[in-house]
Structure 1
Amino acid sequence: MLPEQVAPDGAADPVAGDGAASGHPQDEAGAAAQAAAQAAEAAVARLYGEPLLRLPNDLYIPPDALEVFLDAFEGPLDLLLYLIRKQNFNILDIPMAQVTLQYLEYVEQIRQSNLELAAEYLLMAAMLIEIKSRMLLPKRQDLLVEEADDPRAELVRRLLDYEQIKLAAKDLGALPQYERDFQRPSLPIEQGDAVVWPQVDAHDLQRAWMDVLRRARLTQHHRIGREELSVREHMSAILRTLQSARFVEFADLFGGQAGVPVVVVHFVALLELAKETLIEITQAEPFAPIYVRLAYSPA
């Protein structure tokens, strides 16, 4: 039956006849491609990749194939929460009669098609029926004064917790995820076995050497030595200098001294001589040169 549906007029195809009569392979290939394109356009369906020009008369479609579920639920709590939110019921005051009836109708539908899936829903249905039965029971006389616990309290707590987790999961799902919303770029780098050394410039070598010297100065040690200097010896040297000259300029007294420590001791010796009135330090006028001489002593 299939060859008749695919090409019912194959014997009267003028293109195929011309190709066969001419005997050229290119004309035959073109005719076959044109026939396949026409068959694909006229096909109403495909069976194992082959186009069907019309549906078979003995086609059977099972009734289960036409079942459509508009809402998909992840579990009994998801279904129960959907029924409550869809009808704007107060979750703290659930009308158990209406919700239980709607819940049982859905469970009956899935029980007919998938018994394993309906087992979990049947457990929740039994819980709903139990809560409904406990609410219908008359209250005892000793419990009228004190308010009894609501049988729906545990179910309400589970529904509220599930709703919070569901909203949190929805917020997490909205965040961008790796390999779903974005990809990390990658660039392959070819690495060879040969070692390639970088070119060192003379300026780079100079900067490296200066850096080494700078670090060496930071770690160098400074040694302080101790030198013994006598003030009395310098006092005697000053007196000998003044004995050979009447007046000596202040700066000339330090001409032969070398080093800061020696000059300081020499100056201290000069002050000690002035303190003991062995020498005199004089100046003719302001900003004039300072002279040093031996102290005058009457004969």
Structure 2
Amino acid sequence: MMEVPRDLFIPPDALEVFLDTFQGPLDLLLYLIRKHNLEVLDIPMAELTRQYMAYVEIMRANQLELAAEYLLMTALLIEIKSRMLLPRPIIRTNEDDLDPRAELMRRLLEYEQMKLAAQRLNDIPQVERDFTLVQVLIEQTVAKRLPEVNVDDLRNAWITLVVRAQVNRHHRVTRAELSVRSHMSRIMRDLRGREFIEFNELFGPSAGVAEVVVTFLALLELVKESLVEISQSQPIGIIYVKSTDFLTSV
């Protein structure tokens, strides 16, 4: 009688587990074929039948209740083995040309493919088996949306500044070095620690046209870079300049 394979785990006093190790007779056959390095497409039926029946005999000797499908496979193996031992008829038909093992080989190959596919699916990480989903509650904050500035109001404010600058224009000609970037820095310094400043505060009462133009360009550049926002509470109202850093920190 053949010994129980060593690579199968059978707990003490629980030989019933042996049969449950396999998913059915095809699984047992595939195990025997792979264990003894047999070729599925050229199964040595005599050897395979002997191995299979030895395992079935182990079950019966230990008084395990065999499923009907295991006994049915025993009968099928004996039939295939017997058909292969019969002499070939002199007058052969198409059915005689068929290998008696063909159907069994097809079933074994299909079963192996399905088993491999099932193993690949089982290897995919599964929730609650291989990992647990973690939920992190993040407090949602609603950003305060500032009212948009009317373009016409901004244009009118600009025209007012230019007119005022022309009125206060100095007649003494001096060389003035004006930088948009430096005026951007000045505006940000004026906003430091303050919620907002009024639009007109950016332009001194004695500022000339050139300085007004550069300051206005600096303000537009800050808006473009999302460093400040301009808003007004109502049409034709006061225009405010606010730092986005102050808005996000509130």
TM-score (normalizing by structure 2):
0.47
Q: Greater RCO between the two (CA within 8 Å, min separation 6)?
A: 2
TM-score (normalizing by structure 1):
0.40
Higher CA-based Rg: 1
